[in-house]
Amino acid sequence: MTRPLRLGVLAWQVERIASLDDYAAHLDRLVAEGAAGADLLLMPEYACMEAAALATQPDPTAELEAFCRRSDDVLAIMRDAARRHGVWLMPGTLPRPEPGRIRNRAPLIAPDGRVAFQDKHVMTRFETESWGVQAGDPPGIFETPWGRIGTAVCYDSEFPALTRAQIEAGAWLILVPTCTDTMHGFNRVRISARARALENQCFVAVSPTVGAAPWLATLDDNHGAAGIYGPMDRGFAADGIVAEGPNDAGGWVFATLDPAMLEAVRQDGAVRNCRDWPPHVPAATANPFSV
């Protein structure tokens, strides 16, 4: 039986920085806070774009290009933080340049510095039209001391089939790093996360960027709330909320997640959503009226 996991989920308050050392210090401070209360830490999509302030002007293209030149350095900073604090860390996502393309990648870093990646698979209009960031590899899973864990980066969480592939591969927890500049966008992610928890009878955790950063074109407005969600069934809260922070306020939320609770509700819940997932739904046809 997989043992319980103490999870920390961050709403990242964007700060103004002047150097990569400033970013490293900010990250280290947050990881130190989180590691005091959790075994695994989740941070938001594109939080590291704080470092895009190294660009000479607040312009999306200039910021992306400036960051990509230092992407390897930022990843090294992330790995150093996980090693220093002896914690499993998903430090958000970062643009990773490759010959001919850029991918948005979420690293999961072990306490010894080993790293594996989950790519964002479905791009938003901003990523496609303003940045040219391309779709990455399809959903996979991470093998951890607590069993298999999946990641759905922001917009990916809004597509049930992507998460379902991870659940069918054995994932019991889905990590959702997100970056949204309106409450419309954040609520799409939050409601999707809660729906994925309901239909798969799993845990889903959401980590957003928050706060205003007018000195950046990339992270100028950020809205959301850190949250951890589970099934809406026996043994869980009626609304499925395990833990949730306030909207647009930085800080950590923590919860101890026990996969045994999921097995119990999948076997003996009021409903069995995970088991009853339709294997194939044919195209809809017209329902005939009779006289």
Give the CATH number for residue 236.
3.60.110.10
The per-residue pLDDT for 56 is: 66
Q: Is residue 289 part of a domain?
A: no
The per-residue pLDDT for 282 is: 86
The per-residue pLDDT for 140 is: 97
Span 25-50, pLDDT tens digits:
999 999 999 999 999 999 999 999 99
The per-residue pLDDT for 10 is: 98
Segment 167-194 shows an average pLDDT of 98
What torsion do the CA atoms of 106, 111, 115, 120 make, to the nearest 10 degrees?
Answer: -10
- Do 234 and 261 touch, CB atoms closer than 8 A? no
Number of domains into which the chain is organized: 1
Q: Is residue 284 part of a domain?
A: no
Q: Is residue 136 part of a domain?
A: yes
Q: If we measure between CA atoms, which residue out of 188, 274, 203 comes closest to residue 236?
A: 203
Q: Is residue 275 part of a domain?
A: no
Q: Is residue 80 part of a domain?
A: yes
Reported as a pLDDT band with limits 50, 70 and 90, residue 54 is: confident
Span 205-252, pLDDT tens digits:
999 999 999 999 999 999 999 999 999 999 999 999 999 999 999 999
- pTM reported for the whole predicted model: 0.96
Range of the domain at 259: 5-268
The per-residue pLDDT for 280 is: 84
**For helices 160-168 and 183-200, angle between their N-to-C axes, nearest 10 degrees:** 40
152 vs 122: CA distance, rounded Å = 10
Q: What percent of the chain has pLDDT over 70?
A: 99
Q: Is residue 280 part of a domain?
A: no
Q: Is residue 261 part of a domain?
A: yes
